[in-house]
Amino acid sequence: MPTIAAGRDAQALHRAATPDFFGWLEHTRAAAGCSRPIRLTGTLTAVEPGTGRVVEQRHTDELPDRTLYKACGNRRAAQCPDCAWVYAGDAFQVVRCGLTGGKTVPTTVARHPVVFVTFTAPSFGPVHHRHIPRHTCADRRCCDCRPAPCHARRNAGTCPHGQPAACFVRHDADDPQLGRPLCLDCYDHDHQAVWNAGELWRRTKQAIERHLTALCRQRGIRLVRVVTDSGKVRRVPPVRVSHGKVAEMQRRGAVHFHVLLRLDGVDPHDRHALVPPLAGITADDLDAAVHAAARQITVTTPAHPDRPQGWPIAWGEQVDVRRIGTGDGDVTDGKVAAYLAKYATKSTEATGHCSTRLTPDTVDAYADPEGDHLARLIDACWRLGRPNHTRSSNTATPTGGRQGDLDSKPNPYAGLRRWAHMLGYGGHFLTKARRYSITFGLLRDIRATYRRAEDDTADTITVGALTFIGSGWLTNGDALLANTAAAQHRERQRVGREELAHEAWLTGAAA
């Protein structure tokens, strides 16, 4: 709106005309790109690290705006593009170091067998989708190939609710119908909500390791004796798997996972050391173990008043396993890292839903058992996650305990209500095994050290006793000035990284 823009420009001019404008720009630099920086007030103390001697003490009242600005740190691009950009950069490095080594990770990891796996959710009912059977385009960035008809079935008739069971539309890539059920009443929203809240990944990883252990036994590869932290001697398989994983919310609102799985060895002298696996276990074996585990893992969730027999939770039929390498058609480490980093900054955006945590006061704006696809999914989460006391009294406890015991137990479905705004998914969007790579904390430390080294007072550390006083820039004009300064700096890096992520997509990492 012109009035807002005019007001903002006037604010910006006013700021730029202040005597200490450049001091202000410098002061806000660390948070400059942030959409809603945190404003802090209090005392900053510069301390000499060796002696603890206080070199200088300042109150934020002496600083421009009498405030310290700190970037919000939100990882979601939809919330704060700049902080998400920093986060994605860290995610890229974390993932990549696990593939190539670097920082504190030995470069020998580059020789470990690695696969890149996509685990999908099963079907909860037919949805409108877009599929291109064969690409004839030269460059997929400007792909204009014709998609196949959505659900082409002659004489398919109608479902029990009178909806056509076929769809002959060749959907455009931005068709809002994509991911929406052919019939809302046939679709099993409850099942999908429970599936999103499931814990399949943890069990799947255990199953993969079990398969590898069995394989070692078949091939006569002996277990390794290691000494645990508590001094006990244990015999463990000579291979283990470490992973980096990102969750992606599909348009239909089901979560799927892109996972890097790396095979590591075990050093009998140092349990924590990162060493290459035995030559006898290969990427083929890892591939086979992944497929076997994905097929095998089926869980039935606990009884629920709305479905006493619980829900079956298993992976979808499509499990896509790719090698990381340099050959044709392979995805490279940089591409995979860029791909995972990109998804690490997303959340439910692809579904069209975006809200903060729901409360009894706000849920009605989003949940509706008779509403559209998203409203029904959120309703399913909210309803299935209702508190324990509404359980029907005839629910048997698995352990045969008394009813009183049952009520005092945590409700296994409570998370669905807590994570209704995430359509039931309560996990992190990027996770990794501790052993997989460096930590985000290390990268932040390196950045802080670097920034400190840029200062004159590099030989001191700053300790703050600070209080939160608000978030956001003081005016839209301030936001414009600070963001513009930061944007110029970012743009150069941005181009390179997005190119890589795009290439990963083209190579079919996401197919």
Residues that bind Zn ion (CB under 5 A): 34, 71-72, 80, 83, 128, 135, 137, 143, 145, 150, 159, 161, 163, 167, 169, 183, 185-186
In whole angstroms, what is the distance from residue 420 CA to residue 362 CA? Answer: 11
DSSP designation for 54: E
Q: How far is the CB of 5 from Zn ion (least distance, A)?
A: 22
What string of DSSP letters covers 224-267?
A: EEEE-TTS-EEEE-SEEEEEEEEEEE-TTS-EEEEEEEEEEE-B
Closer residue to Zn ion in complex, CB, 145/463: 145
Q: How far is the CB of 372 from Zn ion (least distance, A)?
A: 15
Closer residue to Zn ion in complex, CB, 55/183: 183
Long-range contacts of 5-13 (CB under 8 A, 24+ apart): 7/476, 7/477, 8/475, 8/476, 8/477, 8/479, 8/480, 9/477, 9/480, 10/477, 11/475, 11/476, 11/477, 11/478, 11/480, 12/477, 12/478, 12/480, 12/481, 13/477
Residue located via tokens 């305990």: 401
DSSP designation for 155: T
The closest alpha carbon to 195, from 290, 305, 368, 314, belongs to 314
Closer residue to Zn ion in complex, CB, 148/350: 148
Closer residue to Zn ion in complex, CB, 81/268: 81
The number of residues making up the chain comes to: 511
Q: How far is the CB of 177 from Zn ion (least distance, A)?
A: 6
In whole angstroms, what is the distance from residue 511 CA to residue 52 CA? Answer: 56
Q: How far is the CB of 379 from Zn ion (least distance, A)?
A: 17
Closest residue to Zn ion in the complex (CB): 150
Closer residue to Zn ion in complex, CB, 19/133: 133
Say whether 115 sits in a helix, a strand or coil: strand
Q: How far is the CB of 365 from Zn ion (least distance, A)?
A: 26
In whole angstroms, what is the distance from residue 399 CA to residue 183 CA? Answer: 39
Q: How far is the CB of 205 from Zn ion (least distance, A)?
A: 33
Q: How far is the CB of 465 from Zn ion (least distance, A)?
A: 23
Closer residue to Zn ion in complex, CB, 74/213: 74
Closer residue to Zn ion in complex, CB, 128/252: 128
